[in-house]
């Protein structure tokens, strides 16, 4: 009976997710675009949850992997390299323009390498010290992206990289509307279905990792690293695996972001983005997949929803307060209120032993 109820819930949720962009399209592409960005943040939150939620490693520089994936896609799917390097221009006059099938694995691999490079020097660090080092790593990547426009123009500096190719998936150009009988799917709706498929695959991977021997080892390290090491767990390799595995999600999400926006710049990968991704994981419920997804959707959509609240509030003050500042204030107040009422997150993981205690008969040993 319980399995039938769960299957019915999944079926209703799947149908709702499939028709969501069709329901939002009549109100304008902006609403579908908000949902698209929310799905990208879900991908980022799922990747960070591997590092923070499963392995217990506080990473405040996760946006660096997002930037690595975004810039890699921008370089391999735009004319920038041909404009900057004569040797590439001689071979590929219009730029590389690699297909998505080649760029996504490369983005995941490069992000994983950067994740291991970050994890290797921080193996002995814990807590606040680890957070400070990862925070510095994220800022170093952003500073590099800002300044690698000379002497060789690799990233185009603060100007960013534009003219990035959209995604062509099985011959479907996602930058153009697609007509299926009487239904017309706009570009943002096509990207919605692609991002949704990536989220579903990522959730399955994270769920399998959580239930695997590796996932249980990560959680043992999170609870007590000394005890885990005493039990024979190779904490060094598993920490590096957590950093690398989490970074791959950030790299893929960054590649999708670059294709979706058609433009990347260092301002898109600021410290505030890292803080928001960590807040998504903590607010939803550390280490619990449904909670992480809920936190990511809420914090990704909340700023856009509060945009409509901040405008009238600004008008009430005679325009003396900036609407952007008001919006940030409202977001902060909402997060404080949620954490006061739900300190373990909106949808926390069940406490250890709760299910066993519920099944145990009264008076039983």
Checking DSSP bridges between strand 168-169 and strand 183-185, what pairing results, if any?
unpaired
pLDDT of residue 38: 95
CA distance 241 to 130: 16
> 86-95, 250-259, 300-309, 350-359 — which one is most confidently predicted on average?
250-259
Res 351: pLDDT = 65
d(C-alpha 314, C-alpha 11), whole Å: 43
Nearest by Cα to 250 from 34, 73, 121: 73
Give Cα separations from 37 to 196, 256, 297, 355 (angstroms).
11, 10, 9, 36
Average per-residue pLDDT for the chain: 89
pLDDT band at 2 (very low <50, low <70, confident <90, very high): low
Distance from C-alpha of 304 to C-alpha of 77, rounded to nearest angstrom: 30
Measured in degrees and rounded to the nearest 5, phi and psi for residue 25 equal -55, -40
Q: Are 40 and 121 in contact (CB under 8 A)?
A: no
pTM for the model:
0.91
pLDDT tens for 22-39 read 999 998 898 999 999 999
User: Residue 355: what pLDDT?
Assistant: 42
Give mean pLDDT, residues 93-121: 91
The CA distance from 121 to 243, in Å, is: 12
Q: What is the pLDDT of residue 98?
A: 86
Instruction: Provide the pLDDT for residue 240.
Output: 96
Bigger pLDDT: 59 vs 361: 59
Q: 3-class DSSP state for residue 320?
A: coil
pLDDT of residue 362: 43
Q: What is the pLDDT of residues 302-347, one digit of tens each?
A: 887 777 777 777 777 777 777 777 777 878 888 888 889 988 899 9
Distance in angstroms (rounded) separating the CA atoms of residues 302 and 310: 12
Residues 114-133: pLDDT tens digits? 999 999 999 888 888 999 99
What are φ and ψ of residue 7, in 5° steps? Answer: -65, -40
Dist. CA 105–CA 161, nearest whole Å: 21
Alpha-carbon 8 to chain mean position = 28
Measured distance CA(41)–CA(352) in Å, rounded: 29
Q: 328 or 2: whose pLDDT is higher?
A: 328
Q: Domain-by-domain residue ranges, the chain?
A: 29-268
Instruction: Classify the C-alpha dihedral 192-105-119-66 as positive or negative.
Output: negative
Tens of pLDDT, residues 40-52: 999 999 999 999 9
According to DSSP, the residues that pair with 168 across neighbouring strands are 173
Report, as an integer, the average pLDDT of 78-105. Answer: 86
């Amino acid at each position: 009976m319980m399995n039938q109820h769960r299957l019915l819930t999944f079926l209703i949720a799947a149908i709702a997710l499939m028709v969501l962009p069709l329901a939002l399209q009549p109100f304008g592409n902006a609403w579908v675009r908000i949902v698209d960005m929310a799905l990208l943040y879900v991908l980022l939150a799922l990747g960070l949850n591997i590092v923070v939620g499963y392995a217990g490693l506080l990473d405040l520089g996760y946006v660096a992997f997002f930037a690595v994936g975004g810039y890699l896609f921008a370089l391999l799917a735009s004319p920038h390299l041909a404009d900057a390097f004569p040797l590439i221009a001689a071979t590929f006059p219009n730029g590389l323009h690699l297909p998505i099938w080649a760029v996504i694995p490369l983005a995941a691999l490069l992000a994983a390498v950067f994740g291991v490079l970050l994890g290797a020097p921080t193996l002995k660090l814990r807590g606040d010290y680890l957070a400070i080092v990862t925070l510095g790593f994220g800022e170093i990547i952003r500073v590099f992206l800002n300044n690698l426009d000379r002497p060789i123009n690799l990233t185009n500096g603060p100007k960013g990289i534009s003219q990035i190719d959209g995604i062509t998936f099985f011959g479907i150009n996602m930058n153009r509307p697609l007509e299926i009988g009487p239904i017309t799917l706009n570009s943002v709706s096509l990207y919605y279905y692609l991002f949704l498929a990536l989220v579903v695959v990522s959730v399955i991977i994270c769920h399998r990792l959580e239930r695997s021997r590796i996932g249980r080892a990560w959680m043992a390290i999170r609870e007590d690293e000394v005890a885990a090491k005493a039990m024979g767990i190779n904490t060094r390799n598993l920490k590096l695996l957590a950093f690398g595995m989490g970074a791959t999600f950030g790299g893929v999400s960054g590649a999708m972001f670059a294709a979706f926006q058609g433009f990347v710049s260092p301002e898109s990968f600021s410290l505030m983005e890292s803080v928001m991704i960590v807040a998504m994981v903590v607010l939803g419920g550390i280490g619990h997949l449904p909670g992480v997804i809920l936190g990511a959707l809420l914090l990704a959509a909340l700023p856009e929803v509060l945009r409509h609240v901040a405008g009238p509030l600004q008008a009430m003050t005679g325009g003396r307060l900036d609407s952007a500042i008001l919006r940030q204030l409202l977001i902060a107040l909402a997060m404080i209120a949620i954490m006061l009422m739900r300190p373990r997150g909106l949808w926390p993981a069940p406490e250890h032993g709760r299910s066993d205690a519920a099944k145990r008969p009264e008076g039983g040993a």
